[in-house]
């Protein structure tokens, strides 16, 4: 049992992942941690030693088959089990200690994925792939950078953003994962699930904003403490609740999904939310928030052939907006639905969203994709499926060269 003193940004999930534990292990040793919404700097946790997965060698096994079964390297298997690479030591009934599985890429989700994770993954990926370019399209209310990744050299521009709503942060690593997989496949000259990334690169330029609401994401994951510049206001807008897991808005209590100048006044009248709130407050004016204004400015600077805003949850794809959408939108939505297993839905009674504005402003296909099914924030166990579905959807657009 080891002692751990919490620091800013710590959560039960993050501490567990860092020490090779499950969240249940942390809570088992510290029951109070499961009863409060967030950890605070200076709290003391007692952590058990990291449990190791074990395996009893079966008839016909060897080091190579065991490493393949668990997705670990033979070298790591040998380190924890000296002599296992020898047939005389790898015998049926022998119990082996199994190391942590190898990660298939840089982007991984072992706990909450926040602004610092985006920052580090953006840096690592752009260092690894010289043709992947990073920039900032502005800053959040608290001054966090709004990262944008540019991938491709084609004349067609595809705009993609994620985590516009704070408690939908799991969409961020889904987008980052696809960017990494695309870049890796392109660099190695191989296909991506039957698609040719070299054609994507030649025909399209992707502008990917992986976390459009970093302040809100941090608030959902870490809460707010006295001394924070918005502490009193946030507690008031949240009706005194300490948990912000349900929060969709940015740090000023403005729902960025209702911030765009597409029949904005009608959305305000429909919502009837007159001030800052966890969700559905459209703000004092369209594009009043720096995050929404930055997304609009990027699209204006590089007018796109298509746009996708990644949200969660529902397993649905919204493709229309008041008849402003071009004729090809419906057919393309059907393709996206077929690729992902989602439903293409013709939506009414909603305005002021990013895809609404994009369709109305440019008369090009725009899509809101509701990844996954459940209650936000979605569980980490859904990440792999959601990331793959994100890839299928974006690949279908990139492979549409009509």
Residues 320 and 311: their CA atoms lie apart, in Å, by 16
* Residue found under tokens 């009414």: 348
Residues 176 and 383: their CA atoms lie apart, in Å, by 12
Residues in the chain: 402
The pLDDT score that the predictor gives to residue 328 is 95
The pLDDT score that the predictor gives to residue 340 is 96
The whole-angstrom distance between residue 72's C-alpha and the CA centroid of its chain comes to 26
Structure token pair of residue 77: 């298997």
The pLDDT score that the predictor gives to residue 401 is 60
The pLDDT score that the predictor gives to residue 402 is 54
Q: Which of 222, 267, 291, 370 is catalytic?
A: 370
Residues 402 and 399: their CA atoms lie apart, in Å, by 9
CB 400 within 8 A of CB 195: no
Picking from 202, 155, 210, 141, the residue whose alpha carbon sits closest to that of residue 178 is 210
Picking from 24, 31, 83, the residue whose alpha carbon sits closest to that of residue 57 is 83
* Residue found under tokens 């926040």: 114
Residue 374 phi/psi, 5° resolution?
145, -140
What is the residue extent of each domain of the chain? Answer: 2-47, 53-98, 115-216+287-398
- Measuring CA to CA, how many Å separate 168 from each of 47, 76, 164? 29, 36, 8
Q: In sequence order, what are the residues at sequence separation of 6 or more whose Cβ sits closer than 8 angstroms to the Cβ of residue 256?
A: 164, 165, 212, 213, 216, 249, 250, 289, 291, 292
Residues 141 and 28: their CA atoms lie apart, in Å, by 38
Is CATH 1.10.3720.10 what the domain over 2-47 is classified as, yes or no? Answer: no
Residue 370: active-site member: yes
The pLDDT score that the predictor gives to residue 103 is 61
The pLDDT score that the predictor gives to residue 60 is 92
Is CATH 2.160.10.10 what the domain over 53-98 is classified as, yes or no? Answer: no
Residue 249 phi/psi, 5° resolution?
-75, 180
For residue 79, the 8-state DSSP code is: H
Residues 101 and 88: their CA atoms lie apart, in Å, by 25
Is the whole-model pTM more than 0.85?
Answer: yes
The pLDDT score that the predictor gives to residue 18 is 85
DSSP H helix total and E strand total for the chain: 14, 12
Structure token pair of residue 377: 């924030």
Strand partners, 149: 134, 208
For residue 285, the 8-state DSSP code is: S
The pLDDT score that the predictor gives to residue 185 is 97
Q: What is the mean pLDDT of each run of 10 residues along the chain (402 residues)?
A: 92 89 90 93 90 89 92 87 88 88 79 97 97 98 98 98 98 98 97 96 98 98 96 98 97 98 98 97 98 98 98 97 97 97 96 98 98 93 95 96 57
The arrangement of secondary structure in 115-216+287-398, i.e. its CATH architecture, is 3-Layer(aba) Sandwich (3.40)
Residues 152 and 27: their CA atoms lie apart, in Å, by 45
Residue 335 phi/psi, 5° resolution?
-65, -40
- Measuring CA to CA, how many Å separate 141 from each of 243, 247, 249, 254, 348? 21, 16, 12, 11, 31
Provide the phi-psi class of 314: left if phi over 0, else alpha when psi is between -120 and 50, else beta.
left
Provide the phi-psi class of 139: left if phi over 0, else alpha when psi is between -120 and 50, else beta.
beta
**Domains 53-98 and 115-216+287-398 agree in fold:** no
Q: Rounded to 5 degrees, what angle do the CA atoms 366, 295, 235 make? A: 110
């Amino acid at each position: 049992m080891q002692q751990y003193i919490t620091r800013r940004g710590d959560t039960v999930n993050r501490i567990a992942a860092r020490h090779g534990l499950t969240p249940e292990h942390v809570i088992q040793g510290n029951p109070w941690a499961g009863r409060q919404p967030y950890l605070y700097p200076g709290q003391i946790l007692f952590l058990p030693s990291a449990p190791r997965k074990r395996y009893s060698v079966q008839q016909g096994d060897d080091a190579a088959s065991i490493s393949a079964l668990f997705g670990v390297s033979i070298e790591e298997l040998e380190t924890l089990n000296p002599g296992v690479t020898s047939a005389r030591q790898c015998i049926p009934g022998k119990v082996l200690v199994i190391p942590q599985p190898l990660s298939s890429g840089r982007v991984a989700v072992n706990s909450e994925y926040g602004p610092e994770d985006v920052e580090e993954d953006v840096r690592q990926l752009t260092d690894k792939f010289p043709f992947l370019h990073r920039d900032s399209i502005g800053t959040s209310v608290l001054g966090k950078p709004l990262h944008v990744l540019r991938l491709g050299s084609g004349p067609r521009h595809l705009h993609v953003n994620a985590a516009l709503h704070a408690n939908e942060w799991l969409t961020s690593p889904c987008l980052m994962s696809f960017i990494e997989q695309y870049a890796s496949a392109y660099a190695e000259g191989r296909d991506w699930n039957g698609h040719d990334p070299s054609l994507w690169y030649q025909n399209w330029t992707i502008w990917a904003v992986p976390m459009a609401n970093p302040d809100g994401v941090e608030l959902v994951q870490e809460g707010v403490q006295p001394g924070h510049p918005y502490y009193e206001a946030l507690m008031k807008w949240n009706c005194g609740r300490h948990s912000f897991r349900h929060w969709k808005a940015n740090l000023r209590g403005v729902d960025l999904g209702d911030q765009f100048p597409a029949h904005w006044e009608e959305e305000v009248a429909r919502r009837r939310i007159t001030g800052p709130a966890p969700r559905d407050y459209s703000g004092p004016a369209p594009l009043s928030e720096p995050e929404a204004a930055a997304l609009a400015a990027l699209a204006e600077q590089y007018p796109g052939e298509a746009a996708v805003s990644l949200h969660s949850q529902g397993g649905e794809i919204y493709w229309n907006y008041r008849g402003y959408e071009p004729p090809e939108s419906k057919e393309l939505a059907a393709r996206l639905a077929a690729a992902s297993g989602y439903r293409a839905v013709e939506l009414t009674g909603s305005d002021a969203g990013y895809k609404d504005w994009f369709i109305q402003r440019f008369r090009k296909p725009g899509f809101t994709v509701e990844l996954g099914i459940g209650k936000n924030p979605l569980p980490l166990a859904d990440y792999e499926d959601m990331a793959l579905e994100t890839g299928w959807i974006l690949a279908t657009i990139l492979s549409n060269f009509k």
